[in-house]
Structures are given as C-alpha cells and as structure tokens.
Amino acid sequence: MNRQPIVDHIPALRRYARALTGDTWAADDLVQDTLERACSKWRLWTVGSNLRAWLFTVMHNLFANQMRSATRQASSSTVDIEEVAHELAAPDAPPDQAMDLQRCLLRLPPDQRAVLLLVSVEDMSYADVAKITGVPIGTVMSRLSRGRSRLQALLDAPAQAATQPSATGTPVSHLHRLK
Amino acid sequence: MSLSNNTMDSNTSLPLTEDQIHALVDGQLAANELAALQAHLAQDPDARARVLKWQQQRDALRGLHQHVLDEPVPSQLRSAASQTAASQQELDQWWRWGGMAAGVMLAFGVGWFSHTAWQGDLAFRSPAVLAKARAERDFVRQAGVAHAVYSPEIRHPVEVTAAEQEHLVQWLSKRVGKPLKVPNLASLGYALMGGRLLPGEAGARAQFMFQNTAGTRITLYLGALDSVPGGANSRETGFHFATDGPIPSFYWIDQGFCYALAGPVPRDALMKLAEAVYRQL
C-alpha cells in the first residue's frame, strides 16, 4: 500500500545508472525505463521480498539488453588494457579525478562494471548481486576480482605513460578491431 | 556471505584468498571470520596492501556520483514512480480482495439495490445491450485508471482544490453538461480535496477526490455514459461492485449518467460511501 519506497529508491537507481552509463541523460532514461518496466511487471515481484534488489534487477536486465544491442551494432570486441593505455596518456584538460575514474569505469566490460558498482557503491551482498545479475556467486566473485584489478590498472596507466611522452604518438585507431 | 568453506581453514599459514580479501574490503564477512582474517592479515603485508588498495578504490567509487543522491528527483521519474506505485497498489488490492481474477467482467456484487440489465443470461443479450455493457465496463475501468494515476500524486492530485469549491463545481458542471453537486462525506471521515477534468470517449468526465485523516484517498468519477442508444431514461442501474479495474469501485448509472466511486478501502466501507454519494446526488 505504501508508495513511498519506490520513490525512495530513485536516487540510488540514478546514481547507479550514472556510473554504469557515464551519461546523465542516458542514466535517467534508464531509470525511467526501469520504473516503467517495473510498472508492467509488478506481478513478478513477490510481496514482501526485497524491493530494492528487484528494482536493480529490472534495471540490470534493461542495461544488459542495451549493451547486447550496442555490441551487435558496433561489432566491437572488448578492449584490453594494453591497447587503451596510450589513449589515457595525454588528457587535454588537467586530469579530473572523477572524470578519469568514470572514463576508466566505462572501459570495463559491462558485466564487471555492474558487479563492481553493485558491491562497492550500492553495498549489495554478493548473494544479492548474484541474483540481480543472474549468475552464480562464484562468477560474481571472479567478475569483482577482475573488475577491481582491471580498473586499478586503467587508473594507474596514465601515471605510467605520463613519464613516457612518446607513447602518445600511437594512433587511436588501434582501439577498435575491425572484423 | 559465508566464506566458511574456503576461509576457515585451521591452517592459518595459508595466504589469504582473493575472495577473502574482497569480502574483507566489502564488509561481507561474519564476525568470527573477520576476527580470524584480521589476525591473519597482520602477518601478510602483501594482503594488507591489496586490502588497502581495494578500499581506496571502493571509496573513490562511492564518492564518484555521491551528489546524485542529494539531487531532487526529476519530475518525470517521480511520476513514473507514482504509476508504478499505483500498480503496486493494484497488486496489493488483488491480494487483499482474495486474488480475484483480473479480466473477469464485473465478477461480483450483482444487484445490490435493484435488478439490473446485468442480471440474466448473457446468451440472450442483444448486441445493443452488450454494447452498453462494454461501455459500462470501459467507464469503470477508466474510473479505476484515473484513480490509480491521480490519487498517488503528491503535489497535484487535483486541478482545482476544495478551497475553490464553487468554481470547481460550476466549471465541471459546464464541461460534463450536467449540474453537479459535490457530496459531503464528512460524516464518514472524508473531506473534499478538489477535482479535475478528464477526457472520456464521448465527452468530458469529472473526478472528485476525497481524503480521510489517515491519508486514504477515494475518487468519484462521473460522466455521461457513451453509446446509450436506448435513451437516457432507460439507463438506470443499482450499485455494482467492480474489481476488474486497478482499484475496486462501486458504480451505478442514473439518468444516463455513470458514477464510479473508487478507493483502496474494504468493500463494506466503500459501499457506505457510495450510498452516501448516491443519496446526495
């Protein structure tokens, strides 16, 4: 009967979507889609169960679908740290830590990004994250581990490269493998 | 998370596993596991360095879009949430009312006051009668939807508030083409909040909203019933209890005008309110 809980979850959904997409508008679109989806799927939610986890599940599925269709369109594969390290070497503006962190986050495979954010930022239990992302808990742990290591490597990369200015000469076109 | 299977090995000389380090950083260890791991950590500088590194990363991520939490929720998201809330409310209603099947046309509450066109065998109904039935059903559903959409509104539940009651009544009377009267439900604990104009299939409809001190809102939805080939005089029915809309309602037809009183309240309470409305109109 109480409608308040749903509204209460919006700020956290917005924050998660913001970090997931790295884009203010895309994030709010994702939240809007999530709420609309939740509206049409209410009967799938069990009364008394964890509303927050359920809303994040709805959002996760929407995001995963978006990622799948984006991947299909771009036909690009995931990018290795080694390949992108040079791109991070020479920021045009003085490096803004938050922007840098967001940029590096977006370089993580979406699966790892989602797990990393759900655990680190949303304080979800590993078990809840497993349910939300629909994978076994072992997979959650390996995604978390790989996500953390990869993010750290990406964050550390500019500092290393800054000491080697010649690295910036590498063409950016290496970023995308064409198939 | 319990990591007992792989963490609580009695051999404390084993290096910490990757999972243990994450669970430590994320605060997802049981108290006894935590104590054991911390003791272990004291002897493992490499693991300590990793814990520290992941903690810093975790803090950085938590700080990244922290400000979003303090931003006001955009109105379009707020209204999307109200609609979701409305359908949640609908779901709750279904549970409360015993899980009556959706889509069953006017399943219950036949003939409270008088005999109606609804009673009898559907197979012998003429197409005109069936068209009327459909119009009634649509009307009741629209009443339920209007209730579900507007009653959760926090800022704008009504277009014109009760403070301008005279204007409200004149305006809505003019638009729905019939002199209206707002029923007084104070004796049943409900005060008028105001009303709004809504589109119907054959013209304007009006919605009056009432609220009690507990914050429960009921709405009276009314308008000329569409497709009334038999003429206004033939259109009178007794009370019906409808549960196929988002919100249970009592509705009746009087002189070609249909009224639906909807609200998330028990059936007997809604019945009393409907009677009070009916007597005053």
Residues A71 and A144 reside in one and the same domain: no
Residues A88 and A108 reside in one and the same domain: yes
What is the pLDDT, as a whole number, of residue A166? 42
For the domain spanning B75-280, the CATH number is 3.30.200.100
Q: Residue B28: its chain A contacts at CB < 8 A?
A: 125-126
| Cβ–Cβ under 8 Å, residues B254 and B205 | no
Residues A87 and A168 reside in one and the same domain: yes
| Cβ–Cβ under 8 Å, residues B220 and B259 | yes
**Among candidate residues A75, A95, A125, the one where a domain is terminated:** A75
Confidence at B218, pLDDT banded by 50, 70, 90: very high
Q: Residue B149: its chain A contacts at CB < 8 A?
A: none
Six-digit token string for B110: 């036949």
Residues A177 and A90 reside in one and the same domain: yes
| Cβ–Cβ under 8 Å, residues A59 and A17 | yes
What is the pLDDT, as a whole number, of residue B107? 34
What is the pLDDT, as a whole number, of residue A33? 92
**Residues B79-112: tens digit of each pLDDT:** 888 876 676 665 555 444 433 333 333 333 333 3
- Portion of chain B with pLDDT greater than 90, in percent: 18
Instruction: Kindly identify which residue of chain B lies nearest to residue A51, measuring between CA atoms.
Output: B88
Mean pLDDT over each residue of chain B, to the nearest integer? 76
Residues A61 and A108 reside in one and the same domain: no
pLDDT at B11 over 50: no
Question: In this complex, how many residue pairs, one in chain A and one in chain B, have their CB atoms less than 8 Å apart?
Answer: 118
pLDDT at A93 over 70: no
Residues A141 and A178 reside in one and the same domain: yes
Residues A111 and A171 reside in one and the same domain: yes
Among A101, A89, A9, smallest CA distance to A53 is for A9
Domain that holds residue A11: 1-75
**Residues A151-175: tens digit of each pLDDT:** 999 998 865 554 444 444 444 444 4
Residues A144 and A89 reside in one and the same domain: yes
What is the pLDDT, as a whole number, of residue B226? 59
What's the CA dihedral at B207, B213, B216, B222 to 10 degrees? Answer: -20
Residues A103 and A22 reside in one and the same domain: no
What is the pLDDT, as a whole number, of residue A31? 94
What is the pLDDT, as a whole number, of residue A91? 42
What is the pLDDT, as a whole number, of residue B112? 34
Region of poorest pLDDT, from A120-124, B139-143, B189-193: B139-143
Residues A39 and A91 reside in one and the same domain: no
Residues A55 and A122 reside in one and the same domain: no
Output the CA–CA distances (angstroms, integers) from residue B127 to B118, B123, B168, B230, B232, in the order listed.
13, 10, 38, 12, 18
Question: Which residues lie below 8 Å from residue B188, measured CB to CB, with a gap of 6+?
Answer: B272, B273, B276
CB contact under 8 A, A101 and B62: no
pLDDT at B233 over 60: no
What is the pLDDT, as a whole number, of residue B75? 87
What is the pLDDT, as a whole number, of residue A75? 53
CA angle B51, B18, A68 (to 5 degrees): 105
**Among candidate residues A75, A103, A121, the one where a domain is terminated:** A75
Q: Residue B26: its chain A contacts at CB < 8 A?
A: 119-120, 123, 126
Q: Residue B70: its chain A contacts at CB < 8 A?
A: 11
Residues A134 and A107 reside in one and the same domain: yes
CATH code where residue A94 lies: 1.10.10.10
Instruction: Kindly identify which residue of chain A lies nearest to residue B67, measuring between CA atoms.
Output: A15
Model pTM greater than 0.80?
no
Instruction: Kindly identify which residue of chain B lies nearest to residue A19, measuring between CA atoms.
Output: B65
Domain boundaries, chain B: 4-68, 75-280
**Residues B240-272: tens digit of each pLDDT:** 887 766 678 888 888 778 899 999 888 888 989
Output the CA–CA distances (angstroms, integers) from residue A161 to A134, A153, A166, B53, B188, in the order listed.
38, 12, 9, 20, 75
Among B141, B124, B149, smallest CA distance to B258 is for B141
Q: How near does any CA of chain B get to the CA of A179, in Å? A: 34
pLDDT at A76 over 70: no
